[in-house]
Amino acid sequence: MAPDKFKGSLTAAEVARRVSAGLGVPTVELPVADGGDGTVDAAVACGFDRITIEVTGPTGERIPAAYAWHPEDDTAVVELAEASGLRRLPGEREPLTATSYGTGELVADAVRRGAKRVVLGLGGSACTDGGAGMAQALGARLVDAEGRELPRGGAALKALARIDMSEFADISGVEFVVASDVDNPLLGPHGAAAVYGPQKGATAEDVKTLEAGLSRLAAIATQTHGLLGAVEHDDTPRPMGVAGAPGAGAAGGVGFAALAFLHADIRPGIDYLLGLLGFGTHVEGARLVVTGEGSLDEQSLRGKAPIGVAQAAAKAGVPVVAVCGRRTLSDEELKAAGIRAAYALTDLEPDLGRCIAEAGPLLERLAARIAADHLEGK
């Protein structure tokens, strides 16, 4: 069982548990995630510890947030959505002032705990601040021409004059990995503000303001000694330096800050997390892999968890089926992606409200169908 969550209904672990119950055969439950909402839950379900601390939410309120910790190899899994996600907004979206500061507090706590590797899952962010808040939480000072600390949020970055790294956290010896399938650059028509700003409540005028702030951040960071050169790991041409790197625009530009300030590597989200969770070991000897997510649609084909699971299972020669709340993909599209068949809650219950409310029992019924179609007589 290697499903992602059914957003708004069941966690990935709950999906795995329900399908296991309905199949009626011995199973291994390995809930997964692609770096977005549910990444910490998936890691905890696979044996990581949950560390909960109080951090700054996207609009300044203090909230409890968690990251996953593996004491045997000192690995932390930090999910941006836990501290700085849209789901953390207490009311209206605040695209100009929302901050990633709380994510930086989670990272700082993991570093103080002795992390040798920090995996940063990006997705579902409420902010478009270029990761400035995260950097501030780690000790960077972002100041204006008068030497005053900038307020938090993307709009304030227009006044940025200098980045002071003298009190930045000691991250020597810590490997940072960004788990994300977003390949957007920081700036431009495909950048963080233009593409994702409207999803966070930004108007057309707000997008211009945020773009100007992110451009200023990129320009000042480029001039700041040690930042740009430190992340030039290869000879790949990168327009506009780090700002033009694929993934720099992830999570409102937090990908940029991870590259520039943490010297992170960006890896495909689901592929990296499957490795971290030991999927390759668990799939050995399996007769079937069941994956899934709430909606199997066009977005799924762009590197979401079920497709990553199907590709990983194919390497082991194990067939894959999927469960979902609903699907818009054709049988041909699914088979091309390596999924033999898909079973949707809407096949049993056309009312979406009831599908959400009764997802668990419906999944068990779907699992009985899967057992009959793919496991009987084997």
CATH number of the domain residue 215 falls in: 3.90.1510.10
pLDDT on residue 234: 42
| Same-domain pairing of 48 and 137 | yes
> DSSP character for 174?
-
Whether 28 and 43 share a structural domain: no
Residue in 325, 329, 351, 357 with CA at minimum distance from that of residue 341: 329
Whether 228 has a pLDDT exceeding 60, the answer reads no
pLDDT in tens, 90-123: 778 899 999 999 999 999 999 999 999 999 999 8
Residue 199: domain span: 39-270
Whether residues 28 and 111 share a domain: the answer is no
Residue 110 and residue 152 in one domain: yes
Please check whether residue 5 lies inside any domain of the structure. no
Mean pLDDT of the chain: 91
Alpha-carbon span 311 to 187, nearest angstrom: 31
* Shared domain check, 188 and 128: yes
Q: Tell me, yes or no, whether 1 lies in a domain.
A: no
pLDDT cut 70: percent of the chain above it: 95
Q: Is residue 275 part of a domain?
A: no
pLDDT in the model for residue 35: 85
In terms of domains, do 198 and 64 share one? yes
Q: According to the model, what pLDDT value does residue 236 have?
A: 43
pLDDT at 231: 36
Scan for tokens 């103080």, then name that residue: 112
Evaluate whether residue 322 is within a structural domain. yes
Task: Kindly state whether residue 228 falls inside one of the protein's structural domains.
Answer: yes
pLDDT for 319 equals 96
Which parts of the chain fold into alpha helices (H)? 12-23, 39-45, 80-84, 101-113, 132-137, 204-223, 227-230, 250-262, 269-276, 279-282, 305-315, 331-336, 345-348, 352-357, 359-374
Which tens digit of pLDDT belongs to each residue from 194-208? 999 999 999 999 999
Does pLDDT of 356 surpass 70?
A: yes
Domain closes at, from 270, 298, 324: 270
- What is the per-residue pLDDT across 249-277, written as a single tens digit (0 to 9) for each? 999 999 999 999 999 999 888 888 898 88
Q: Residue 360's domain is classified under what CATH number?
A: 3.40.50.10350
214-230: average pLDDT = 72
pLDDT at residue number 344 = 96
Say yes or no: 20 and 73 in one domain.
Answer: no
The reply to whether 334 falls in a domain is yes
Mean pLDDT for the stretch of residues 227-242: 46
| In a domain? residue 335 | yes
Cα angle 148, 97, 231; round to 5: 75
Task: Name the domain count of the chain.
Answer: 2
Tell whether 261 and 289 lie within a shared domain.
no
Task: Identify the domain boundary among 211, 239, 270.
Answer: 270
Average pLDDT over residues 212-219: 94
Enter the tokens of residue 340. Answer: 């033999």
Whether the predicted pLDDT of 230 surpasses 70: no
Whether residues 127 and 159 fall in one domain: yes
Residue 253, pLDDT score = 95
Query: Quick one: average pLDDT of 265-290?
Result: 91
pTM beyond 0.95: the answer is no
In this structure, are 81 and 170 located in the same domain? yes
Convert the pLDDT of each residue in 13-54 to its tens digit. 999 999 999 999 999 999 998 888 889 998 998 889 999 999
- Is position 4 within any domain? no
The answer on 337 and 302 residing in a single domain is yes
Task: Tell me: do 27 and 45 sit in the same domain.
Answer: no
Confidence at 378, pLDDT banded by 50, 70, 90: low
Question: What is the DSSP code string of 294-330?
Answer: EEESGGGGTT-HHHHHHHHHHHTT--EEEEEEEE---
**Of 226, 247, 270, the domain-final residue:** 270
